[in-house]
Each structure stands twice: as structure tokens, then as C-alpha cells.
Amino acid sequence: MSYVYDLSMQSRAEKRTKASKRIGSSIRKDAIHPADYNRYKLPYACEDCSHFKSENESCTLGMPTEQHLRRNQKRSYELSGKVALCRLQEID
């Protein structure tokens, strides 16, 4: 018969709260009403921005583009009703 002893100074409740901490998404996504999404041509993708270089799908300001590309934005909206709007977007 073997016994396992927990010699830590933390209570069991403290251990559970630390273990249950969830990691969230680092990019904030904004909800867009479906009627507005269908009615207006909203500039929400990198392809709509002045800083986007289509040759290599990059941003001239050095911002990451993967989450903001039109194909990924459409997929995100279809799944959750939200898109990741770039806070530095400039429209031509």
C-alpha cells in the first residue's frame, strides 16, 4: 500500500482557481449586426486598407494581417457574427 502526500502550502480551493484560468483571444472582435453586414460595404479587411501590400499580403505598418484578411474575416463572421477590426485601417 502506498500513500501520496501533498506537501504544498496551498489549499485545494486555491489550486483549483489557478488551474481553471482560461486563456482568451488576443485580438478583440467586434459584433456587426447581420442587416448592416448585408446592406453596407463595410471596410473590415486588410484588402480595403491603404497600408496593405497585396503582393505578399503584408501591412506597411508592420501589423499582423492573418486575422484581418477578407477570407478569414468572412469565416469568422459566419461562425460568430464578429470580425477583428483593425484600429489603424485607412480607407482609400
Tens-level pLDDT at each residue, the chain (92 residues): 556 655 666 666 665 555 556 655 577 899 999 999 999 988 889 999 999 999 999 999 998 899 999 999 999 999 999 999 888 888 76
| Chain centre distance of CA 90 | 20
Domain count, the chain: 1
pTM over 0.75: no
60 in a domain, yes or no?
A: yes
In a domain, 12, yes or no: no
pLDDT of residue 51: 93
**Is residue 45 one of the residues assigned to a domain?**
yes
Whether 90 is in a domain gets the answer: no
Does residue 44 lie in a domain region? yes
d(CA 63, CA 52): 10
Instruction: Answer yes or no: is 68 within a domain.
Output: yes
